[in-house]
Structure 1
Amino acid sequence: MTAATLASTRVLSWFEIPAMDFDRAVRFYEAALDVPLQREVFGGVPIAVFAHEEGATGGAIVFNPQQTKPAPDGVLVYLDASPTVTDALARVERAGGKKHGPAIELPNNIGYIAFFTDSEGNRVGLHSLKLA
């Protein structure tokens, strides 16, 4: 291991969730997670950034069909479902997403996870410390 490898404290530095219908996807995530997204154009590509603190992992909804397309079996990211996974799953369904079964309890008090398909067809994970 190099010194740079040892100094890194996080595995994920950024994520992008592809969208074919950008406005629909942004509305979906704002409703499902009950958070506003910051719309921007970066390098000519429309993105909607999830709020995050400086130095924390960030990510965005991205409309760039020449580079990425939604897929149910692509990269899987887990989004913060605070305060509870149950509440987030209910919002996902109200926003037009489809949940994949009930929440799953993780061992060692790590919390709970659940999965859903978003408005664009991406499979996404949710995580929170509380179920309900």
Structure 2
Amino acid sequence: MSSNTPEHAAVWFEIPVSDLKAGMAFYNAVLQTELVETDMGPQTIGIFPNKEPATGVAGHIYAGNPGVAGKGSTVHLAVQEKLESAMDRVVENGGKVVSDIVTIDSGRFVYCLDPDGNSIGLFN
């Protein structure tokens, strides 16, 4: 491995939502967690909780301009309990499940769209 190889390939992600409060409610419900609303100077964001904020991969949502629904990058978010339950919460909270569950050696995931059309993966 090269000495230039980082510990994590990704270090931070941002998901634009049309309404911060509504976005936080969606992700809180789906992930069964509490995003932390934080004033970051020019704007307020909702930070995804992380057990190791100094060394782990983290991210946030912010009030911005979501791209075209279903286009662009896909951020995979950790689900701590049964994947099927999280899929139900996606639909119950205004999102869409857009794939079947995919099983790979390291776990299972499903592709979804949040209410703004952002592509997300739910992984466990």
Q: Same fold (TM over 0.5)?
A: yes
Per the TM alignment, residue 64 of structure 1 is displaced from its structure 2 partner at its CA by: 3.3
The ranges of structure 1 where at least 4 consecutive aligned residues each deviate by more than 4 angstroms after the TM superposition are: none
Per the TM alignment, residue 2 of structure 1 is displaced from its structure 2 partner at its CA by: 5.9
Look up the equivalent residue of 2:39 and give its one-letter code: V
Give runs of aligned pairs for residues 23-34 of structure 1, distance below 5 A: 23-34=21-32
Partner of 1:115: helix, strand, or coil? strand
Look up the equivalent residue of 1:61 and give its one-letter code: I
1:82 and 1:59 map into 2 onto residues whose CA distance is 17
Per the TM alignment, residue 101 of structure 1 is displaced from its structure 2 partner at its CA by: 2.7
Could you tell me whether the CA contact under 8 Å between 1:21 and 1:120 is conserved in 2? no
1:8-66 residue CA offsets vs partner (Å, 9 max, x unmatched): 2111100011011111111100011110010012131121000002311110011134x
**Percent of counterpart pairs with the same letter?**
27
Hey, what does 1:41 align to over in structure 2?
Answer: 39
Work out the number of aligned pairs and report it: 121
Q: Which one of the candidate residues 80, 104, 110 is aligned to 2:106?
A: 110
2:46 and 2:84 map into 1 onto residues whose CA distance is 25
Q: TM-score, normalised by structure 2?
A: 0.88
- Structure 2: state its 5+ residue gaps: none
Hey, what does 2:72 align to over in structure 1?
Answer: 74
Look up the equivalent residue of 2:17 and give its one-letter code: A
1:119 aligns with 2:115: yes
Hey, what does 1:59 align to over in structure 2?
Answer: 59
